[in-house]
Amino acid sequence: MGRLFLGIDVSTTGAKALLVDEKGTVVAAATTPLTLSTPRPLWSEQDPHEWWSGVTRSIQAALAQARVGGGDVAAVGLTGQMHGLVLLDDDQRVLRPAILWNDQRTGVQCDEIRARMGGRARLVQVTGNDALTGFTAPKILWVRENEPDVYARARRVLLPKDYVRLRLTGEAAMDKADGSGTLLFDLAARDWSAEVLRALDIPRAWLPPTHEGPEVTGAITAAAAAATGLREGTPVMAGGGDQAAGAVGAGAIAPGVVSLTLGTSGVVFATTDAALVEPEGRLHAFCHAVPGKWHLMGVTLSAAGSLQWYRDTLAPGESFEALVAEAASAPAGSEGLIFLPYLSGERTPYPDPLARGAFVGLTVRHRRAHLTRAVLEGVAFSMKDCMGLFAQAGLASVKQVRVAGGGARSALWREILASVLGAELVTVNSTEGAAYGAALLAGVGASARKDVASACGAAIARIIGRCIPR
């Protein structure tokens, strides 16, 4: 079979292990579900120990599925949910449940960060981003102000996938793409910002070294080998946050090609050759997992999540396929019915954790098909709101949109998106998303390809679907 590369994805819903060969063919995949905790309104947490146990089970299952041993895996790449806060003590023990990307408790701390930085404009200039409740920095301040006993014992800050890295290698490290999503980065310098750390009074010693996506960050320890079945000494690459790694997995690594993900949240992702920012900070500006590249990103928090809420609440027992097929019978525009998908607050372009969803314009003529179509259309227009900010940040025109995620399996939803965005939408032969991108980055780091562009060119070469705007 030749050398294999392992992509590990620590998402909000599951710990995934994906084995890919040197040609980019997926050999095996396994996912272990993860538990989400919401102990109070606006809170969202997970137990980092469950990430580790889920990752070990998924790796073992993928190796068994492929009928290979750990020695066949040449390198490991990591990806996962961004912005989460994992606090460790001196002995690298977890101090409290991780606070996740979709946690909304830190509105007061976001205001405090702007004030400490002398205003939003300076914060955006340095980090590329406004202070939003999902980011890591306001979570650190929240713990300092609300859990002082925990904060007093803290000695290390990690992101979710990097806790798994620590368990795999014994090394604390982070990739630059994920690091730039903490609100503690100097975007142009691609490393921690001394100015931000000083303003927020966060010790530099708490933060790990950062690396480009294909760089080696450590090797599998004897203990991790025993737990996972991997070979001791196998190199572990930096990888990338889930959106950057997902863009690698879709081949969205050059300006003009936009990645659009219709997962629980909806994301539009555009690669840039320089550290561009949207002046008001309404777009995220992060480092890419591709060395020397950056990206702009817009996020609507409830994309396919809106459809899931709608199905679970108003049509329990119905399949998504049946609901969407019914929606095709409703006319475009849903006869004036509008759905606002702000079920979890919003990030782009309305950074408001208290924004709320709504159906607007209901009449006695509307049936379930209209409601379902309105949900699909509302999400599409929210994605258009995100993409509309690209030009204001100095991005050249969009040539192609590569769409992925669970919602992208719907032909009707893809057609609606193409028409609303006014852009060609394509699906490609790569469908495994962030884990696939992490595996490609592992391959580059292990010299299977000379760089990320050649890895993507070899593995992601075939368009399998196309939607043209109507």
User: Does 457 map to a domain?
Assistant: no
User: Does 442 map to a domain?
Assistant: no
Q: Which residue has the higher pLDDT, 191 or 102?
A: 191
Bridge partner list, 437: none
Containing H/E element for 88? strand 86-88
Question: Which of 394, 414, 429 corresponds to the end of one domain?
Answer: 429
- Residues 55, 166 within the same domain: yes
- Residues 108, 232 within the same domain: yes
Helix (H, G, I), strand (E, B) or coil at 5: strand
Number of domains observed in the structure of the chain: 2
- Residues 300, 212 within the same domain: no
**175 catalytic, yes or no?**
no
Smallest CA-to-CA distance from 75 within 237, 292, 299, 187 is with: 237
Type of residue at 18 = L
CATH number at residue 359: 3.30.420.40
pLDDT at 1: 60
User: Does 444 map to a domain?
Assistant: no
Band (283; pLDDT cuts 50, 70, 90): very high
pLDDT at 384: 94
Residue 219, phi then psi, degrees to nearest 5: -140, 155
Bridge pairing between strands 73-80 and 45-46: unpaired
The owner of tokens 């449940």 is 97
394's torsion region: left (phi>0), alpha (psi -120 to 50) or beta? left
The whole-number average pLDDT for the span 314-332 is 96
Structure tokens at 312: 């679970």
Contact by Cβ (8 Å): 13, 36:
yes
Bridge pairing between strands 294-300 and 284-287: antiparallel
Band (429; pLDDT cuts 50, 70, 90): confident
Band (279; pLDDT cuts 50, 70, 90): confident
Question: Which of 243, 263, 285 corresponds to the end of one domain?
Answer: 243
Residue 328 and residue 345: Cα distance in Å, rounded? 28
pLDDT at 461: 59
- Residues 188, 268 within the same domain: no
User: Does 329 map to a domain?
Assistant: yes
pTM of the model: 0.90
Type of residue at 187 = L
Domain that holds residue 72: 4-243
- Residues 287, 198 within the same domain: no
User: Does 239 map to a domain?
Assistant: yes
pLDDT digits (tens, 9 = 90+) for 381-393: 999 999 989 988 8
Of 175, 191, 242, 352, which residue is the catalytic one?
242
Q: Within a 10 A sphere around the Cβ of 462, how many other Cβ atoms?
A: 9
Whether pLDDT at 354 is above 90: no
Residue 55 and residue 62: Cα distance in Å, rounded? 10
The whole-number average pLDDT for the span 286-314 is 95
User: Does 464 map to a domain?
Assistant: no
Whether pLDDT at 215 is above 80: yes
- Residues 191, 289 within the same domain: no
Cis peptide before 235 (omega within 30 of 0): no
- Residues 31, 94 within the same domain: yes
- Residues 283, 412 within the same domain: yes
Whether pLDDT at 463 is above 70: no
- Residues 58, 154 within the same domain: yes
User: Does 317 map to a domain?
Assistant: yes
Whether pLDDT at 232 is above 80: yes
Query: For all residues of the chain together, what is the average pLDDT?
Result: 94
**Which alpha helices (DSSP H) does 67-179 contain, by range?**
107-116, 120-127, 136-146, 148-153, 160-169, 176-179
Smallest CA-to-CA distance from 260 within 410, 404, 468, 418 is with: 404
Whether pLDDT at 135 is above 90: yes
Question: Which residues 6+ apart lie within 8 Å of 167 measured at CB?
Answer: 52, 55, 224
Lowest mean pLDDT: which of 168-177, 307-316, 361-370, 403-412? 403-412
- Residues 422, 369 within the same domain: yes
pLDDT at 464: 64
- Residues 57, 186 within the same domain: yes
- Residues 204, 344 within the same domain: no
User: Does 418 map to a domain?
Assistant: yes
Question: Which residues 6+ apart lie within 8 Å of 41 measured at CB?
Answer: none
Band (406; pLDDT cuts 50, 70, 90): confident
